[in-house]
Structure 1
Amino acid sequence: MLLKGYIKSIYNEIKVLSLLNQLTALLSHSSEANFVKKYFDSSRGKVDGHRDVRLIKSYSVYRKDHEKRFVECGYDRLNRQLLWHGTKCANLDGILRDGFVLSFKDNLLFGNGVYFSDRVTNSCNYSDQTNYGFLLLCEVSTGVIFKTEYPKQYMEAPDRYDSVQGIGKYIPEPNTSILYDDIEVPLGNTIVNKHKKTSLSELDFNEYVVFNP
């Protein structure tokens, strides 16, 4: 997804399309493009300190080798969600070519995992802070989720859980998720989380962390 403003259009699009022959631009009037835009628009949240964005163009990526690995690991049998991932342009080709790798940094709230969000506003913070950026909309095998408001350096999900969710101050409207090809999609608009128990959390939005990409 290319966000906000015009991209040095032809050069950047050719650069993206040349990464993989499995990458194609979605027709703006196609059902898939319309669904992506609907999710994008509903998951924008006008929150102080976070930029507003608009969707410029969508691409579809399919890697047979990635799908094979996904199935072989049994991820297709777990609960799955369609979630956003923001990344710098410099990282995009590596992700599309090789998939996600764990990030080993000291300042991650929930340890060294791959981070996703159900709010596009949140994921945009991790893309390039210029007039345009890239987002990935990913099928994520979250499985059984351990939910918490308290940051902790996890090396893996706790026993009997498959992933970790940091609970944010702003969340999708409850009971608005739909199934899209058997994948959960939180399509609700962004609202204040009235059930958040503590103000100690640093999270404005939900973060989902997986440790075995």
Structure 2
Amino acid sequence: EKNTEMFKIIQKYLKETSGGYFKPQIINVWEVDRSAEGQRFSENDGLENRRLLWHGTNIAVVAAILKSGLRIMPHSGGRVGCGIYFASENSKSACYVRPSKNTGVMFLSEVALGKECTITKDDCTLKKAPAGYDSVVARGRVEPDPSKDVVITLEGKEVTVPQGKPINQPQYSDSYFSNSEYLIYKESQCRLRYLLELKMR
């Protein structure tokens, strides 16, 4: 429903973080509720620091993701190692969207980040969060204005959702990453919440 508070939050999140290159328009938003994923996600009930984050993908694999959830592929890897990648900026995740006839698909996932290990340089060897940490955040030189974040409640848990435009982060001005990337190395630490069908322009 386009007049609901949650739709407005998602729409603002998309608008404020879509950057200058991609200006996606919402065609549809679906709430996702995979019961098996919910049971698995409950293993992390003790983890605080939850965020609703973007994940872009090829439209061809959406059915597989809806069936099995986001998976860590054995041969997958990137600048922050072998994990599941999320972003607080739509423009970052949009780079991974492979649209069909200008229609793309993106997910918004609730991610239980717990204690974050902050890095500012590539480490492609990572296969799990360092000892004492639950996730890795490659901090970008810009980040959606944290003062504009809102907190929603999903199944009794507080979840932070960015709502501000990306602003410079002086403390990370030397970072190798322009935009932040959020990494988990356990599939159980994320739960699909929303599927967005977007007109990519």
Give the alignment's TM-score, normalised by structure 1: 0.78
The answer (yes or no) to whether the contact 1:76–1:141 under 8 Å persists in 2 is: no
The answer (yes or no) to whether the contact 2:140–2:180 under 8 Å persists in 1 is: yes
Pairing 1:186–2:162 present: yes
Mapping 1:131-150, distance limit 5 Å: 131-150=102-121
Of residues 79-88 and 168-177 in structure 1, the stretch that sits farther from structure 2 once superposed is: 168-177
Pairing 1:99–2:69 present: yes
The correspondence for 1:62, drawn from 10, 24, 33, is: 33
The correspondence for 2:132, drawn from 133, 136, 160, is: 160
Residue matched to 1:51: 22
The correspondence for 2:5, drawn from 27, 31, 41, is: 31
How many residues of Structure 1 are paired with residues of Structure 2 in the alignment?
A: 181
> SS state of the match for residue 179, structure 1?
strand
> SS state of the match for residue 78, structure 1?
coil
Displacement after TM superposition at 1:204 (Å): 2.2
Structure 2 residue runs of 5 or longer lacking an equivalent are 188-201
The correspondence for 1:198, drawn from 164, 174, 180, is: 174
The correspondence for 1:111, drawn from 81, 95, 100, is: 81
More strand by share: 2
Residue matched to 1:9: none
Q: Distance in 2 between matches of 1:146 and 1:116?
A: 15
The answer (yes or no) to whether the contact 2:141–2:173 under 8 Å persists in 1 is: no
CA distances 1:25-79 after superposition (whole Å, capped 9, x unpaired): xx22222222211221122222xxx4332222211111222111111x2246432
The answer (yes or no) to whether the contact 1:148–1:167 under 8 Å persists in 2 is: yes
Give the alignment's TM-score, normalised by structure 2: 0.83
Bigger relative contact order (CA 8 A; separation at least 6): 2
How high is the sequence identity, in percent, across the aligned residues? Answer: 27
Structure 1 residue runs of 5 or longer lacking an equivalent are 1-26
Q: Distance in 1 between matches of 2:128 and 2:3?
A: 41
The aligned amino acid for 1:179 is V
Displacement after TM superposition at 1:117 (Å): 0.3
The answer (yes or no) to whether the contact 1:165–1:206 under 8 Å persists in 2 is: yes
Q: Which has the larger radius of gyration?
A: 1
> SS state of the match for residue 104, structure 1?
coil
